[in-house]
Amino acid sequence: MDALGFAAEQMVGRERAAQIEAEAERVVPEVTDAPAWPVLRSQLMLLAASGADPGEVLRNAVRDGSLEAARDPAAVLSYRLNWVDRNGPLPWLSKVPDRLAEHLQWGPYLASRSELVRDLAAQVHEASGATEHRWQEALSADLFPELVAQISVWRAAMGVPADDLSPTGPTQVPGSASRWQRVLDDHVGLSSPTLRHWTAVARQLAPQLRDDPQTPVLAAKLASLAHEGEDLPELLGRAMRRGPLPDDHAAAALLYRLERRPRQEPIHEVWETVEFTESMGQRHERMRPPGMDRPHGYGIGI
């Protein structure tokens, strides 16, 4: 992706790049100050290098919906522009545009990079069947080998650490990658009747859980608790009453609440016979809570 953006800007040239930036600023004032502007800018350069009119494409994206409520208008526009052509080296990457592919300098280089990505993805795909995946063990579900292989490629490409037990790792920035992440997460949630059921239950609790990559892990935890005989409606109700879930890492927050729930210790009834002094001539039985000190002067037989 970095190579494509850099090559596109080199082909476009400094003067044309400045014109594209100025036109973007006219279409959406102050968009060049938005946090996601570098990503949007790279997309516009790639459009120009491919022969499209970046300004017209940007205006069409603006017409798709209002940007008034957007905290980062560049991110919203980037998401609207970021659709993938088929035949890319990975499901969320487009192929090298024809004009770049035909360029004498950049064409062969980008073709080699693309082929290298394909080769590495094929190696990870092939090795996935012989690898023990901690994230898969955490789900306690038998997934189709092809799904496991696709997730393995995703995790390798995104650098998801082995100790991250959510199948697809951290939530990606909105765009083609995040769309593919949702596809993988949905397939995991539908992979078994148990996960399908508890994924649906989890997603009804809060809107944030619909697109959270840790929701399958939460569903697996709910399935485990149900198997242990826990009262899930009561547990979930108590967890949700602790307050709204955060927008980010909502599934992790709910998992934390479930794992840190107060455990009620069983009360063991202890009956004892208390013999009073002979002068009182009385004998009776009573309940003594565990750990209560015995009264002085009493002869006790249990």
Measured between its terminal Cα atoms, the distance across the chain in Å is: 78
Do 97 and 207 lie in one domain? The reply is: no
- The percent of residues in the chain predicted with pLDDT above 70, rounded, is 86
pLDDT in tens, 252-271: 899 888 887 655 444 444 44
Residues 135 and 225 reside in one and the same domain: yes
- Any domain includes 99: yes
Q: Is residue 58 part of a domain?
A: yes
Considering the domain boundaries, does residue 118 fall inside one?
no
Task: Check whether residue 144 and residue 208 sit in a common domain.
Answer: yes
Contact 128, 152 (CB under 8 A): yes
28 lies in a domain? yes
Under the banding of pLDDT at 50, 70 and 90, the label for residue 94 is confident
User: Do both 252 and 275 map to the same domain?
Assistant: no
- Whether 79 maps to a domain, the answer reads yes
Q: Rounded mean pLDDT of the chain? A: 83
Query: Domain containing 297: what range?
Result: 271-301
Closest CA to 192 of 231, 220, 151: 220
Let me know whether 290 and 251 are in one domain: no
Partners of 273 in the β-ladder: 285, 301
Is 64 in the same domain as 150?
Answer: no
Whole-number pLDDT of residue 173: 79
Clarify whether residues 85 and 141 are in a common domain. Answer: no
If you search the block for the tokens 């064409």, which residue do you land on? 107
pLDDT at position 218: 86
Q: Do 285 and 218 share a domain, yes or no?
A: no
Q: Do 141 and 235 sit in the same domain of this protein?
A: yes
Q: Please identify, among 89, 106, 123, the residue that sits at the C-terminal boundary of a domain.
A: 106
Which two tokens mark 202? 């989890």
Do the Cβ atoms of 182 and 92 come closer than 8 Å?
no
Same domain for 248 and 149: yes
**Structure confidence at residue 142 (pLDDT):** 76
Q: What separation in angstroms does the CA of 66 have from each of 59, 247, 252?
A: 12, 22, 32
pTM over 0.75: no
Please state, for a pLDDT cut of 90, what percent of the chain lies above it.
Answer: 39
What amino acid occupies position 3?
A: A
Check whether residue 176 and residue 223 sit in a common domain: yes
Query: Hey, how many other C-beta atoms are within 10 angstroms of the C-beta on 294?
Result: 10
221 pLDDT above the threshold of 70: yes
Is there a single domain that holds both residue 243 and residue 281?
no
* Domain count for the chain: 3
Tokens of 242: 């602790």
Last residue of a domain, one of 49, 72, 106: 106
**E strand segments, 187-301:** 271-275, 283-287, 299-301
Residue of 94, 86, 88 lying closest to 46 (CA atoms): 94
